Amino acid sequence: MKKSLTVCPYCASGCKINLLVEDNKIIAAEGANGVTNQGELCLKGYYGWDFLNDTQILTPRLKTPMIRRQKGGKFEAVSWDEAIDYVSHRLSDIKQQHGPDAIMLTGSSRGTGNETNYVMQKFARAVIGTNNIDCCARVCHGPSVAALQVTLGNGAMSNSIVELEDTKCLLIFGYNAADSHPIVARRIIKAKEKGAKIIVCDPRYIETARIADIWLPLKNGSNMALVNAFLNVLINENLYNQEYVDRNTEGFEELKAVIDKYTPEYVEDITGLKAKQIREAAYMYGKSSAATILWGMGVTQWGQSTDVIKGLSSMALITGNLGRPNVGVGPVRGQNNVQGACDMGATPKDYPGYQKVADTHVRKKFAKAWKVKTLPENPGYTITEVPHKILEGHVKAYYIMGEDPLQTDPELSTMREAINKLDFLIVQDIFMTKTAAEADVILPATSWGEHEGVYTSADRGFQYFEKAIEPTGNVKVDWQIISLIATKLGYPMHYDNTKQIWDELRMLCDQYQGATYEKMADLGYVQWPCPNEDHPGSQYLYHDNKFDRPNGKGLLVSADWIPPKEQLSEEFPMVLCTVREVGHYSCRSMTGNCRPLQTLADEPGHVQINPADASRLGIEQGDLVYVQSRRGKVITRADITPRANKGAVYMTYQWWIGACNELTLDHLDPVSRTPEYKHSAVNVLKI
């Protein structure tokens, strides 16, 4: 039996796992002593490897390249040579006819690794000639990146997962750690055991609310009003650090002007909270000697999410909770390598290391390194804009790697219409997902467990993960597939291994330069910034309170509250909010093919509903119900729970039956272009 040391492919907690291998089959997993998990794992870590043994419970593994030559026709298995030839000819024709911006590409925030994301964005920019590259950060923590880059200079957690248990106060806003990052939830419990105060802001009575000192069940859609009320109390009741503000920030008077009217009394109606509760929470946060704010999708998946995060960042700044251990701001990234996909430049405005495509010097640097005359300067499309860009005729080809937008993106009817209108759809994946089933070409890739590389955890930690087994089937590693297409298109791209790719990347990004494979092997975990080979990496950002902005000061900013886009009505009187479940991940193609996880939750989806609402609607536990919005109707089962607040229902997005994205709308935050998944008007009907 052999042991392979890897990193969990599910959430971005960055847990290290030993996979036990016999006869090229995984037989078990055990927690390894990683920096963030210290030997512990959640159930996805323990049981989420089973899909590697090709269980075929939900979907078959993709094992050979396939082409569908006519819309509506059948897939035909082909050789790799033929598939690469076909893809490169079709992409070349589309580029010639419609220009490079008619082609859209995705990186992948899932198990593929940083090296592949680097290669994919290089392919988009240097080979195709477009910045139309994006990843699923767009539908999760895009607003965190956008907001924190403006206020502090870096779009990432300021501090580390390991520090959470030594903070003195945790303000947890719209973040259900127990379901989305169980190992981070463990740290929260340890913090509580060590005496930290816990404040939870969430409409639902989530697991963490059970251990909270203060639970603020705010109305769905009132985040900005509550953050402004916190700022109002902190400033007007003198709980802020005047000296820190004077020395290290700018924008205080402008911030004060915005939040002035948002007294706790003023926001009572908007938030549904008592002024006294809000004041108590603000005092608890403001008086703490070391406070940390964590947030998740409950903050980011709104039409005003970037503003809310700027407000949260302002709370940390005015109280001096940055630039030292055990404090800070924590956007806890969802998928295992979503931080890495952004770090590697799989986004439309940034090269690797968040260097701007609009910056002439940066463009020249990358053009020289990649040996091309010019690189495109206009920012590309985001994945959330793409359906409309396809329907308007701007995008003709879509190269999707490791994403399943026909399951995970909002307003699926629009997405389906767009996908059907494409001239050419390439899907590079490991399973026959909903999107893969619509492809013109399928490029079957190796999975986590079958290749090696580097992931970045939510707290900027680079970790090397090993290959455990040889892949079965006629599959290739993602970066090799992309390199073959690039070469066929006339841009020779030859890498022998991931280390070559990583070393090329390091030389182009100051803040990753010292994060060598050797150092990762030595230390196990290297957090960026790591500017040179003598540097151990950075557990927290903004040492000496120097922010990565032109004048080194943090920016204080907030905004007026804007109500959610879709108002409730007589016909659609309830809020639908999408949420997570602990046993499954993303579009479920991986966890749905793991026997133990499938056994835990083998019933297609459910809708969580409050007992009072259920009783009013004549619904009993387990009843089949329709959930209907202005965009569609799905069938699912009722899960009656007092954890759901009155007037709102909650669904997870993994399930093919009861696919809640049939109901969601694609209203976007104007800055990050992240959808308002958390607020669609629906009704619920007993069948």
- Residues in contact with ligand SF4 by CB under 6 A are 8, 10-11, 13, 15, 37, 41-42, 44-45, 181-183
Q: Is 83 within 8 Å of 76 (Cβ atoms)?
A: no
- C-alpha 161/C-alpha 163 separation (Å) is 5
DSSP H or E run through 356: strand 355-356
Angle made by CA atoms 157, 449, 506, in degrees to the nearest 5: 45
- The three-state secondary structure class of 593 is helix
Tokens read off for 396: 């003709």
Locate tokens 């999760």: which residue? 140
Output the smallest distance, CB 497 to ligand SF4, in A.
Answer: 25
Query: Given the complex with ligand SF4, which of 32 and 395 has the nearer CB atom?
Result: 32
Distances, alpha carbon 236 to alpha carbons 231, 261, 279, 298, 308, in Å: 8, 11, 11, 27, 19
Closest CB 336 distance from ligand SF4, rounded Å = 6
532: left (phi > 0), else alpha (psi -120 to 50), else beta? beta
Compute the least distance from the CB of residue 13 to ligand SF4, in Å: 4
The CB-of-56 to ligand SF4 minimum distance in angstroms stands at 23
- Whichever of 180 and 232 has its CB closer to ligand SF4, that residue is 180
Amino acid of residue 393: G
Nearest distance, CB of residue 592 and ligand SF4, angstroms: 15
What counts of helices (H) and strands (E) characterise the chain? Answer: 23, 28
Least Å distance between CB 652 and ligand SF4?
15
Residue 496's Cβ-count burial label (10 Å; 0-12, 13-18, 19+) is: exposed
Return d(Cα 402, Cα 404) in angstroms, integer: 7
The minimum distance between CB 527 and ligand SF4, in angstroms, equals 16
The nearest distance, CB 376 to ligand SF4, in angstroms, is 35
Rounded to the nearest whole angstrom, what is the least distance from the CB of residue 183 to ligand SF4 in the complex?
Answer: 4
Identify whether the C-beta of residue 437 lies closer than 8 Å to the C-beta of residue 453: no
Q: Copy the structure tokens of residue 464.
A: 């090397």
Nearer to ligand SF4, 186 or 389 (CB): 186
Identify which of residues 111 and 182 has a Cβ nearer to ligand SF4 in the complex.
182
| Residue located via tokens 């959808």 | 675
* Of 250 and 343, CB closest to ligand SF4: 343
In the bound complex, what is the minimum distance in angstroms from residue 16's beta carbon to ligand SF4? Answer: 9
Task: For ligand SF4, give the closer residue by CB, 188 or 233.
Answer: 188
Nearer to ligand SF4, 183 or 218 (CB): 183
> What does the block give as tokens for 270?
């908007």
Closest residue to ligand SF4, judged by C-beta, is 45
Which of 168/181 has CB closer to ligand SF4?
A: 181
Contact between 656 and 550 (Cβ < 8 Å): no
Burial 520-533 (b: 16+ CB within 10 A, else e): beebbbbbbbbbee
Q: Secondary structure of the chain: what % helix, strand, coil (to 5)?
A: 35, 20, 45
CB 462 within 8 A of CB 353: no
The whole-angstrom separation of Cα 625 and Cα 685 is 5
Name the minimum Å distance from CB 192 to ligand SF4.
18
Q: Please, which residue, 15 or 156, has the CB nearer to ligand SF4?
A: 15
Task: State how far Cα 567 lies from the chain centre.
Answer: 27
Helix (H, G, I), strand (E, B) or coil at 512: helix
Q: How many CB atoms lie within 10 A of CB 55?
A: 15
Going by their DSSP bridges, the two strands 103-106 and 397-401 should be labelled as parallel
CB of 7 to ligand SF4, least distance (A): 8
Please report how close the Cβ of residue 12 comes to ligand SF4 at its closest, in angstroms. 7
Task: Give how far Cα 521 sits from Cα of 2, 257, 461, 464, 540, Å.
Answer: 19, 51, 13, 7, 21
Polymer length in residues for the chain:
687
Nearer to ligand SF4, 591 or 680 (CB): 591
- Residue-wise DSSP of 294-355: EE-HHHHSSTTHHHHHHHHHHHHHHTT-SSSTT-EEEE--SBTTHHHHHHTT-SSSEEGGGE
Residue (402 or 514) nearer to ligand SF4, CB: 402
- Which is closer to ligand SF4, CB of 41 or CB of 406? 41
Structure token pair of residue 136: 């699923």
Q: Which tokens belong to 80?
A: 């790799």
Minimum gap (Å) between residue 17 Cβ and ligand SF4:
7
Q: Which is nearer to ligand SF4, 15 or 105 (CB)?
A: 15
Residue type, 503: D
Q: How far is CA 583 from CA 138, 209, 220, in A?
A: 23, 20, 25
CA–CA distance, 344 with 351 (Å, rounded to integer): 7
CB 610 within 8 A of CB 73: no
- Output the DSSP codes for 170-221: EEEES--HHHH-HHHHHHHHHHHHTT-EEEEE-SS--GGGGG-SEEE-PPTT
Nearer residue to ligand SF4 within complex by CB, 182 or 444: 182
Cβ distance to ligand SF4 smaller for residue 18 or 151: 18
- Distance (Å, whole) CA 159 – CA 14: 15
Minimum distance from CB of 211 to ligand SF4 (Å)? 18
From the list 125, 132, 93, the residue with the least C-alpha distance to 373 is 125
Q: How far is the CB of 113 from ligand SF4 (least distance, A)?
A: 15
Please say which residue, 201 or 332, places its beta carbon nearer to ligand SF4. 332
> Closest approach of Cβ 585 to ligand SF4, in Å?
7
Q: Which of residues 295 and 585 has its CB atom nearest to ligand SF4 in the complex?
A: 585
